[in-house]
Amino acid sequence: MKQATLHTDRHFALAQVDPRLYGSFLEHLGRAVYEGIYQPMHPAADLLRGFRRDTLELVRGLNVPVVRYPGGNFVSGLRWEDTVGPKENRPRRAELAWGVIETNEFGLDEFMEWCRAAGTAPMMAVNLGTRGVDAARNLLEYCNFKSGTAYSDMRVRNGARAPHDIKLWCLGNEMDGPWQMGHKTAHEYGRIAAETGRVMKLLDPTIELVACGSSAWHLPWFGQWESEVLAECYDEVDYLSLHQYYGNAENDTPEFLARSAAMDRFISEVVAICDAEKAKKRSKKTMHLSFDEWNVWYHSHEQDKKLEKWVSAPHQLEDVYNFEDALLVGSMLITLLRHADRVKIACLAQLVNVIAPIMTSDTAAWKQTTYYPFAYTSRFGRGTVLQTVAQSPMYTSKDLGEVPCLDTVLVHDEAGEALTLFAVNKDLREDIGLNCDLRQFEGYAVERHVVLTHADCKAVNTEAAPDTVAPREDGVSALDGGVLTATLGSKSWNMIRLVKR
Ligand code: AHR
């Protein structure tokens, strides 16, 4: 068996985990909203609001503290006013981002109701594509102003007496992308982000703002875009965004699983750019990051090319995730945690039906493979990330060079007296024996070792067989003389939780 060692010290804290690291994303896209979270005629829907209760239960199981809404590319052509008020007056629109018809039957106020039902909070995006400062400040007035103004009174008339009090706002979406409606140069975007941010904070200084970084690391303008945008809006914004999706179209699983190292590099480079801007500006403020779109996305690319246009809620971006996707999602979560000092917000894109951990049909709602690493990490990866040094067996990735077979992170929940190790063994054939000296954690004992593994990397969960890939509590680990030893099976995601007895 290959061997690995993890070194740590309970006093060497990297950072407190911001709970918003476990955010997700709901876009008006495909069947995310319609047939996903909202389907009034469905037997599982609540009678009053049409929210699917089966979906809600699965969403609650993910413990997502924040959900980004309403897009995505969708937001860059949106008139938010279309989405509020009596449903019979709301216009149907040709939605140009995804080539569909948007009925506006579910809108802003319904989303706020849904957030309450799901136990989550909104991360709202404004349209800086086809619109700008004026529409953004009016939307903020509608949402956060108490009453006595045109837009706040409109909200009250629409049935929401109390302000929505939305604290987190995205200044547009992927404005670097030529595919984006109203796409801008870095300078144009930096200026409009600065002005929109400044005006929004005049109305509500308690809000936090996210500016758009590049839509992916491989784009030729990555780096230059970030610098130019921050040169214009560093003082007005609180976070810079990162987006990244990975795929395995070449069917090279080791290469695919190495993508967490690419994500790690992407984050480090954005941190470096932010800090360079901080230095140039002699600023006291440290820019934090919002990794507000991340996931695996490629399974549905071909089928989506055949979709009929101008229909409502088509089966769009419906990736069916397999076991190896769950391994990478687990590794990406570990990577985010390992950057918890700078990444404060992250959104798994997306939440339901559209590249999502939850799928629905007219007869059921079920968990995709990727649901599990997210649900466990979100629930138990809370507290303080400890600095660790890992000695792991390595393998060679053609894109990334030498990468570790093992991704690990250690999270200490001091108040709850728990220590949680998340680990992914990417070796497809060999187990890895891990040891970690934990003598500083006196009185702790292994409570559970959860494992997600499957003989077939391509195994999937479906409506007919929803538990094909599911976690088991049968991991092999022990704490002996204060030293943790564990067997991390070949191709496995693991959570080892120690608690104080
Ligand atoms: O999440 C799907 C799409 O991916 C989003 O609409 C867009 O922001 C990104 O390109």
Q: What is the pLDDT of residues 430-484, one digit of tens each?
A: 999 999 999 999 999 999 999 999 999 999 999 999 999 999 999 999 999 999 9
Cβ atoms 403, 261 nearer than 8 A = yes
For the stretch 278-297, pLDDT in tens is 999 999 999 999 999 999 99
- pLDDT one-digit tens code per residue, 9-57: 999 999 999 999 999 999 999 999 999 999 999 999 999 999 999 999 9
Closest CA to 111 of 71, 77, 147: 71
pLDDT value of residue 209: 98
Of the candidates 27, 226, 232, 293, the residue annotated as catalytic is 293
What's the confidence (pLDDT) of residue 245? 98
pLDDT at 341: 98
Write out pLDDT tens, residues 90-100. Answer: 999 999 999 99
* The amino acid at 48: L
For residue 36, give every residue at least 6 positions away whose Cβ sits within 8 Å of its Cβ, in sequence order, or none: 26, 52, 55, 351, 352, 353, 354, 356, 358, 360
> pLDDT digit string (tens) for 83-129?
999 999 999 999 999 999 999 999 999 999 999 999 999 999 999 99
d(CA 19, CA 378): 8
Largest CA distance in the chain: 70
**Cα 475–Cα 479–Cα 484 angle in degrees, nearest 5:** 80
The percent of residues above 90 in pLDDT, for the chain, comes to 100
CA dist list (Å): 161 to 40, 123, 148, 250, 355: 24, 20, 12, 53, 35
What pLDDT is stored for residue 307 in this prediction?
Answer: 97
3-state secondary structure at position 452 = strand
CA 57 to chain CA centroid, Å, is 19
pLDDT on residue 290: 98
What is the pLDDT averaged over residues 343-350? Answer: 98
- pLDDT tens, position by position, 221-266: 999 999 999 999 999 999 999 999 999 999 999 999 999 999 999 9
Q: Which two tokens stand for residue 187?
A: 């300078």
Q: What is the pLDDT of residue 89?
A: 97
Rounded Cα gap, residues 352 and 209, in angstroms = 25
Place of tokens 């140039």: 280
431 CA to centre of ligand 1 in angstroms: 37
Cis before 180? omega within 30: no
Contact between 427 and 491 under an 8 Å Cβ cutoff? The reply is yes
Mean pLDDT computed over 122-146: 98
DSSP secondary structure letter of residue 130 = S
318-339 average pLDDT score: 98
Q: Could you tell me the distance, in angstroms and rounded to a whole number, from the CA of residue 255 to the centre of ligand 1? A: 24
Predicted pLDDT at 400:
97
Tell me if 334 sits within 8 A of 409, measured CB to CB: yes
DSSP symbol at 462: -
Task: Say how far apart CA 169 and CA 200 lie, in whole Å.
Answer: 10
- Residue 309: predicted pLDDT: 97
Residue nearest to atom 9 of ligand 1 (CA): 72
Angle at Cα 250 formed by Cα 402 and Cα 359, nearest 5°?
105
Residue 65 φ then ψ, to 5°: -75, -15
Active-site hit among 27, 95, 174, 318: 174
Q: pLDDT value at position 2?
A: 96
Pairing of strands 288-296, 100-102: unpaired
Of 323, 351, 338, 216, whose CA–CA distance to 268 is shortest? Answer: 338
Instruction: Give the three-state DSSP class for 312.
Output: coil
Query: How does pLDDT run across 356-384, given as a tens digit for each residue?
Result: 999 999 999 999 999 999 999 999 999 99
User: Which of 293, 304, 319 to mutate to test ligand 1, by most ligand atoms within 8 A of the CB atom?
Assistant: 293
**Would you mind telling me the total number of residues written for the chain in this entry?**
501
User: Does the active-site annotation cover 174?
Assistant: yes
